[in-house]
Structure 1
Amino acid sequence: MIKSMTGFGRGTSESEASSFIVEIKTVNHRYFELNARMPRTLISLEDGIRKYVNDKIKRGKVDIFITQNQGANEDMSVVVNESLAENYVEVLHNLRDKYDLRDDISATTLARFPEVLKLEQKEEDLEKTWKILLPAVEEAVHNLVSMRQQEGEKLLIDITKRCECISSNVDIINRRVPEVTEEYRARLLKKVEEILAEKSIDENRIAMEVVLQADKSCVDEEIVRLKSHVAQVIKTFKLGEPIGRKLDFIVQEMNREANTIASKVNDLELTNIALDIKSDIEKIREQVQNIE
């Protein structure tokens, strides 16, 4: 099953101590890249989150947002930055002595200064926190993957239809090329007859010119390769692995063959058909950019 690289998922989990909301979204990217936004107290869990997400998502730019709501804050503790507090006290005493101020420094006053008191999660409770957080991560990733699969199905349908159109147009070109060569022979013969009037015509010379023209406009090899690439695209859809990069390479080869065909065919109808083929290939190329 193919997957799009675009999707969104949300998950929640809770316990008596805290609750989590996890939101995850993905967009196109050549490789796997994860950016996590979470409370500072959860930073040490980022590697575990990254590993879990990367196990489910192989390609795409991933943004994950984690919100934590504390309950009774049993897992939190207040930490005093003693060196900073001492520095504040020293500065306040200097101000008191220099300007003859009333000394009213209190613990409450000191606690109001930035970074003197910090709320931190107890390290010994991180394992417990991970057990609470993981179900929310699992739910968010599951919902994300489901959406990517649904989008992938739409891409599969669209690309398959375009491959069918390409194959159909290639068949038309394949049938039409011999007719174009014969039409060229007839036009050339008529033109020579008009020029020479009643003089005799060298049939061998005419035949040689027709052969040269037919050789210049021959697209048999390009048609065989293009049809082979189309078959490869359909076959690749059945692989149980990320296929985006492989499809991107195949589509480049398809475009190369289509360009050659368009440059060789010496007929307005065939040129228009070749342009239709190139248009479908370009649409496929755009779609492939969003496949994991």
Structure 2
Amino acid sequence: MLKSMTGFGRDQLDREDYSLKIELKSVNSRYLDIHFRMPKLFNPYEDSMRQQISQTITRGKVDVFIEFHHRPGVGLTIEPNFDVAEKYLKAYRSITRHEHLSQDIPLDLLAQVPDILTVSESEVDETSLARDISHVLEHGLAQLDGMRRAEGENLKQDLLLRAELIKQAAARIEAIHPEILLKYRDQMKKRLDELLDQPQVIDNQRLEIELAIYAEKKDIQEELTRIGSHLNQFEDMISNGGEVGRTLDFLTQELNREINTIGSKSSGYDISREVIELKGQLDKIREQIQNVE
């Protein structure tokens, strides 16, 4: 199947203690180019994510956005430090006895004492997180790939249509070219006869040879044949799909070369009009295949 290089995919997973969201966006590029925007926590998983992405995407610029949020309070542990509390209490009681103050010590006063409460947060299990990353990335990639496939199908239909239009224009040129070539040859002979003062001394056989050589230089049958061959390869590759973007680009360069040769060899309004049509359709094809994987 033909694939576009443009697409978007997203998936999210919500756990009791955290949420994970991964978004992927791809655009056309000559090679596979992956960029991550993510918290530092995910740096150890970058290589495995690259490998997972490359199993689905072979060409294009892929931006990966990762959001990770801990649930507030989940996994949070608060423990009293009794040793510190006991020392502060002894100190407070000594002060109250010495100053003849009330020995009631407000709890909120103790709570303000540094290190009297130890707050700790449980770390995310690395194995579970790696599994979740792979799971979310897999679903996001599936969505991205689905969009690239759908867009690829649209590209396929458009490219096949334009290839057919080029075939039709080339067929019209092939149909009218022999007659134009013959007329051109006759016109050249007539002009030569008119320019010579003594046409009776012309070596007619030599003249025929020279005209045939000149007419051969104007012949475009080989170019038309190669255009047909390139278009057949082009259509086969589009229909079969796969990673054909670079090969299609090469074929369009070859088609462009043949069309330019036809334009330089030919004269006359009818063929010039068809050459303009050929170039117009080929330009649209070249623009479209820049987005083919």
By the TM > 0.5 criterion, same fold? yes
Q: Which residue matches 2:260?
A: 259
Q: Which residue matches 2:156?
A: 156
- Whether the aligned pair in 2 keeps the contact of 1:226 and 1:254 (CA below 8 Å) is yes
Q: 1:255: Cα distance to partner?
A: 0.9
- Over 3 Å counting, the alpha-carbon distance change for 1:226 and 1:236 in structure 2 is same
Q: 1:12: Cα distance to partner?
A: 1.2
Task: Give the alignment's TM-score, normalised by structure 2.
Answer: 0.78
- Over 3 Å counting, the alpha-carbon distance change for 1:251 and 1:205 in structure 2 is same
- Whether the aligned pair in 1 keeps the contact of 2:11 and 2:139 (CA below 8 Å) is yes
Q: Which moved more, 1:68-77 or 1:228-237?
A: 68-77
Structure 1 gap ranges (5+): 78-105, 109-116
Task: Give the alignment's TM-score, normalised by structure 1.
Answer: 0.78
- Over 3 Å counting, the alpha-carbon distance change for 1:199 and 1:52 in structure 2 is closer
Q: Which moved more, 1:235-244 or 1:27-36?
A: 235-244
Structure 2 gap ranges (5+): 78-112
1:130 matched to 2:130? The reply is yes
- Whether the aligned pair in 2 keeps the contact of 1:169 and 1:277 (CA below 8 Å) is yes
Larger radius of gyration: 2
Q: Which moved more, 1:190-199 or 1:15-24?
A: 190-199
C-alpha separation in 2, matches of 1:222 and 1:189: 26
Q: Which moved more, 1:133-142 or 1:3-12?
A: 133-142
Task: Name the SS of the counterpart of 1:56 in structure 2.
Answer: coil
Task: Name the SS of the counterpart of 2:55 in structure 1.
Answer: helix
Q: Which residue matches 1:64?
A: 64
Q: 1:129: Cα distance to partner?
A: 0.9
How many residues of Structure 1 are paired with residues of Structure 2 in the alignment? Answer: 257
1:53 matched to 2:48? The reply is no
Q: 1:69: Cα distance to partner?
A: 2.1
**1:60-91: per-residue Cα shift (whole Å, max 9, x none)?**
000010111222666789xxxxxxxxxxxxxx
Task: Name the SS of the counterpart of 2:242 in structure 1.
Answer: coil
- Over 3 Å counting, the alpha-carbon distance change for 1:198 and 1:285 in structure 2 is same
C-alpha separation in 2, matches of 1:10 and 1:71: 21
C-alpha separation in 2, matches of 1:76 and 1:134: 26
Runs of 4 or more consecutive aligned structure 1 residues displaced over 3 Å after TM superposition: 72-77, 117-122, 188-210
Q: Which residue matches 2:280?
A: 279
- Whether the aligned pair in 1 keeps the contact of 2:7 and 2:145 (CA below 8 Å) is yes
- Whether the aligned pair in 1 keeps the contact of 2:10 and 2:22 (CA below 8 Å) is yes
- Over 3 Å counting, the alpha-carbon distance change for 1:235 and 1:127 in structure 2 is same
